[in-house]
Amino acid sequence: MRRVLLAAVLCATLVASTRTRADDAGTSPVDPAAEKARRGATVAKVGDRVITVGELEDRLAALPPFQRATFGADPTTVRRAFLQQILVPEGLYALGAAEQKLDQTVPTSFEVERAVSSATLRAIRQKLGPESAIPMADVQAYYDANRDRYDTPERYQIWRILCKTEEEAKDVLAQASKSLDIKTFGDLARDHSLDKSSNLRAGNLGFLSADGVSNEPGLKVDPAVVKAAQGVRDGQLVPTPVPEGDAFAVVWRHGTIPATRRSVDDVAAQIRDTLWKARVKQETDKLVASLRASKLKDYSDGPLFDLPTTLGADAGGLIVPHGPRPREGGAP
């Protein structure tokens, strides 16, 4: 094996170091026959495995730029390193596996298990039938039970300055009315608003539904603020301060998103997809639970906790908890 590796690497280094692509040198493209011959040139042989210029280029082209950059700073260095670090070792590993007949045992058994497992999942899907086979009555039942997913109420984009007193709110309202624009309102919100979560974004509360719930996560205001905003048009200020708890709000209705109503026919395909996936999961989980109860034997993950913290590069960088084995019930 060592002799094979040394010979392959020397050959690869010699050929890769003497070849550069026409585009690297800035010359014009060669004719098709010359290009075919160039790509068919051998850069390394590992046993019966022949690695050509074309294969090396195609494999490199499939890598994202950031990954190619890890092999070097210029095209020649990248190609040479990729050949020596990736393609040659791949061939050597395959050759070593063949010599030890590993290709006839472990990998094959894994592939067979994977194929059988995939066939089982396909059988479950085939048994359930296609999504289109789900009856409309089931679609209607799901639609009725989840109506709020398909009907969205009218929502209002509201900007608000929350003031400590009514007098302060009236003064802020008067200043905003003189020059109603984003800068003016934002400056007033920064200087006067008690709501520190919104005063630095000009008092923007996002889009509120009638119950005061915003599309901004975790934000809800007094529904009276929304009700007051409903009394004016987009772009207008509510003409008087709005009581909000112990404070008073200057309210600007900035915009509106109309309500949406989607019928069961509009979302039937989406609902069938949801129902079909849920049924596939249900049948799969049922099968796994049944087989687990009757077929799974001698299950013990205790030895996993005796492994070192880092298994290293040979294990793909897998990190395993290190320390005392947890006691029964999950307590350390």
| 36 in the same domain as 126 | no
| 253 in the same domain as 158 | yes
- Our CA angle for 299, 303, 309, nearest 5°, is 135
| 139 in the same domain as 129 | yes
| 310 in the same domain as 294 | no
Predicted TM-score (pTM) of the model is: 0.43
Q: What is the pLDDT of residue 306?
A: 61
| 287 in the same domain as 139 | yes
Longest dimension (CA), the chain: 92
The Cα 325–Cα 306 span in angstroms is: 7
pLDDT tens over the chain, length 332 residues: 444 444 444 444 444 444 444 444 445 556 888 888 888 898 888 788 788 888 888 988 888 888 888 999 888 888 888 888 888 887 777 776 666 665 555 555 667 667 777 888 888 888 899 999 999 999 999 999 998 888 888 999 999 999 999 999 999 999 999 989 999 999 999 999 999 888 788 899 999 999 999 988 888 999 999 999 999 999 999 999 999 999 999 999 999 999 988 999 999 999 999 999 999 999 988 888 887 788 777 666 666 566 555 444 444 444 444 444 444 444 44
| 272 in the same domain as 142 | yes
Range of the domain at 312: 301-332
What's at 70, amino acid-wise? T
Q: CB within 8 A of 157, min separation 6: which ones?
A: 204, 205, 206, 207, 208, 253, 254, 255, 256, 257
Residue at token pair 């099968």: 287
| Cβ-defined contacts of 130-139 (< 8 Å, 24+) | 130/276, 131/269, 131/272, 131/273, 131/275, 131/276, 132/272, 134/272, 134/275, 134/276, 136/268, 138/275, 139/264, 139/268, 139/271, 139/272, 139/275
Domain harbouring 224, CATH code:
3.10.50.40
User: Per the structure block, which two tokens stand in for 93?
Assistant: 């590993």
User: Would you give the DSSP letter of residue 31?
Assistant: P
The Cα 44–Cα 79 span in angstroms is: 13
Q: What is the pLDDT of residue 110?
A: 67
**How many domains does the chain fold into?**
4
Q: How many CA atoms does the CB half-sphere of 253 hold within 13 Å?
A: 21
| 35 in the same domain as 77 | yes
| 32 in the same domain as 46 | yes
| 245 in the same domain as 204 | yes
The Cα 114–Cα 104 span in angstroms is: 16
The Cα 332–Cα 329 span in angstroms is: 9
| 313 in the same domain as 238 | no
Q: Count CB neighbours of 103 within 10 A.
A: 13
| Cβ atoms 158, 249 nearer than 8 A | no
In 3D, which of 10, 12, 97 has the Cα closest to residue 51?
12
Q: Kindly report the backbone phi and psi dihedral angles of residue 219, in degrees, each rounded to the nearest multiple of 5, phi listed first.
A: -105, 130
| 255 in the same domain as 157 | yes
The Cα 172–Cα 187 span in angstroms is: 11
| 207 in the same domain as 157 | yes
